Amino acid sequence: MQYIDTLLDLMLVSEGVSSIYEAPEYLFFGPDENTAPLMDPAAHYTRKKGYGPWRSITTGKSGTLGGIPHDIYGMTTRSVRQFVEGVQRKLGHKQSEKTKFVTGGPDGDLGSNEIILGEESIVGIVDGSGVLYDPAGLERAALLRLCDSRSMIEAYDGQLSAGGFMVRVGDTDVTLPDGSHVDSGVKFRNNFHLNGMVTADYFVPCGGRPESINLENVDQMLTEDGKPRFPHIIEGANLFITEPARNVLQDAGCVLFKDASTNKGGVTSSSLEVLAALSFDDVGFKEHMAADEDGRFPAFYEEYVKEIIERVESNARNEFEFIWEEHKASGKRTTELTLELSEAMNDLFDVVLASSLFENENVRRNVLTEYFPSTLLGQVGYETLCERIPPTFLKAAFAKYLAAQYYYVKGTKSSVYEFYEFVSGYDHE
């Protein structure tokens, strides 16, 4: 809250205080670990301080403020799942016939939604409370109960096979079914992903410490003959694997997609939550975006959330397809391609932002009409949206959307002439 207060002092124009910026500044803050409960109080505080677009300053808010919680709708996980399911589709894997290992448990956003949305047989979960493992697969119904109550795996009430076990962080001097000994439950939990006993078709890190897999321990992720214990890794959690370790795993044959590509869903959802907050006046926002006292949402809100989910999944599929096809054609590591795509988009974003393209009325209208969710466009109208949304936001959205769509369609090795042709497709009435 002090952080928000400090930034408001910088953003709000005060009498007698000069600023190097000619236009108002707009900042937006999204939830991350342990900050989700602060989204509502921060919004209310900025309103009290006199910040005009106060509903847009935080995202993932509760329904009464027209928020779209990432957790409830699984926004980040829906993005990650497009990469998991994309790999399965390309390789002909039937989801229900594959095994999966997860770090980050059913008490968290990513972990719980990964359990709910996926149909793979989960052989192991590591979370704050310890390790739950069963090579025969954990009971799905019992896992779903944990997800519903957002409980850690220590509350698991399913049956375990002869080879299954639970080790809590507080446990000491434990003998596992295979006869191995655990001195410390904490140490066992922290390093279980490196333990040779656990293997699975897919590994989806949804939580855990940064750099949990690094150059010093990555050899433990391989079998004695140098093959990955987890042939397919889709990163949900940020920074779980270091870049050098990613290279080792991919060179050993692991199909790996990094966090910078896979988990953009929450950011996409936040950006569209901000868009809606900026698009309505007070009366319209209360009528179309805010839940009533009984927690019932307006019909518009329900449709808007559906469209956001579609956008999240569509963007993730586009990025997956681009990286997969480029990897297939060039032989480059998928992680290199993530970086190349990101740099290319950012560079083109800067070029478009500095150009006069936004001043071309036809191009601007057609790009923004594509960018605006159809539900929002239909409810508010193009002209009103352009009047209410700050010009800096509109121009940034225009440039970013155009850059992303161009590279998803044309690839990063396309030419200036191809970009000219692509933009020309928007230059019509």
Convert the pLDDT of each residue in 77-127 to its tens digit.
999 999 999 999 999 999 999 999 999 999 999 999 999 999 999 999 999
Confidence of residue 31 (pLDDT cuts 50, 70, 90): confident
pLDDT band at 10 (very low <50, low <70, confident <90, very high): confident
CB 160 within 8 A of CB 177: no
**Mean local confidence (pLDDT), 385-389:** 97
Whether 307 shows a pLDDT value over 90: the answer reads yes
Confidence band, pLDDT 50/70/90 cuts, at residue 66:
very high
Of the chain, the percentage scoring pLDDT greater than 70 comes to 100
Q: Would you say residue 13 has pLDDT above 80? A: no
Distance CA 425, CA 417 (A): 13
DSSP character string of 394-428: HHHHHHHHHHHHHHHHH-TT--HHHHHHHHHTT--
pLDDT score of 33 more than 80: no
**CATH class name, domain 94-262:** alpha beta
What residues pair up with 205 in beta bridges, in sequence order? 103
Q: Which residues pair with 174 in a beta bridge?
A: 182
Helix (H), strand (E) at residue 125: strand 121-127
Query: Is the pLDDT reported for residue 178 higher than 90?
Result: yes
| pTM, full prediction | 0.94
**By CB neighbour count within 10 A (0-12 exposed, 13-18 middle, 19+ buried), where does 242 fall?**
middle
Q: Is 334 exposed, middle or buried (0-12, 13-18, 19+ CB in 10 A)?
A: buried
Residue 306's pLDDT is 97
Distance CA 250, CA 231 (A): 9
Evaluated on CA atoms 317, 319, 325, 328, the torsion sign reads negative
Calculate mean pLDDT across residues 306-313: 97
pLDDT of amino acid 15: 79
Q: How much is the pLDDT for 411?
A: 87
Residue 149 φ then ψ, to 5°:
-95, 0
- Determine which helix (DSSP H) or strand (DSSP E) holds 173, and give its type and residue range: strand 172-175
Q: Range with the lowest mean pLDDT among 198-202, 276-280, 299-303, 410-414?
A: 410-414
Over the stretch 329-379, which tens digit does the pLDDT of each residue have?
Answer: 999 999 999 999 999 999 999 999 999 999 999 999 999 999 999 999 999
> What pLDDT, on a 0 to 100 scale, did the predictor assign at position 252?
98
Is residue 22 over pLDDT 80? no
What is the average pLDDT across 262-275? 94
Report whether pLDDT(2) > 80. Answer: yes
Contact by Cβ (8 Å): 265, 80: yes
* Average of per-residue pLDDT across 290-305: 94
Alpha helices in 331-410 (DSSP H): 334-354, 361-371, 374-380, 382-388, 391-410
Q: Mean per-residue pLDDT for 140-151?
A: 97
Q: Averaged over 162-182, what is the pLDDT? A: 97
Domain extents for the chain? Answer: 1-70+266-309, 94-262, 332-429
- Does 50 or 120 have the greater pLDDT score? 120
* Beta-carbon contacts of residue 396 (< 8 Å; ≥ 6 apart): 353
